[in-house]
Amino acid sequence: SAVISQKPSRDICQRGTSLTIQCQVDSQVTMMFWYRQQPGQSLTLIATANQGSEATYESGFVIDKFPISRPNLTFSTLTVSNMSPEDSSIYLCSVAGTGGSGNTIYFGEGSWLTVV
């Protein structure tokens, strides 16, 4: 499986600020996704990051709040804008496997954000 690196791994953010999370993969991947996991909850898909075009957002998530970039097949960013305490969460970058394992997804280590 691909090696997925996320930065920052952890941060404490002030209310009203924005933070950009970076996701770097060690190989080219077609599908990249961003998930959120709020405390004690499961994973919620935010959006599919599309290379060279606008991300595809799930119901309840909008581009103004969670702008996503995907400039190439190995890199993506997720920005959490105008943060509130409700945005305190783990944000996970994931990629679909390549070749024979293209039918599953793998996760980075996550970015743990606390908004105060």
Binding-site ranges for another protein (CB under 8 A) = 31, 33, 35, 41-45, 48, 58-59, 90, 92, 94, 96, 103-110
Shortest separation between residue 92's beta carbon and another protein, angstroms: 6
Residue pair 94/4 in contact by the 8 Å Cβ criterion: yes
Q: What is the rounded CA–CA span in Å between residue 28 and residue 6?
A: 16
- The nearest distance, CB 80 to another protein, in angstroms, is 18
Closest distance of CB 104 from another protein, Å: 6
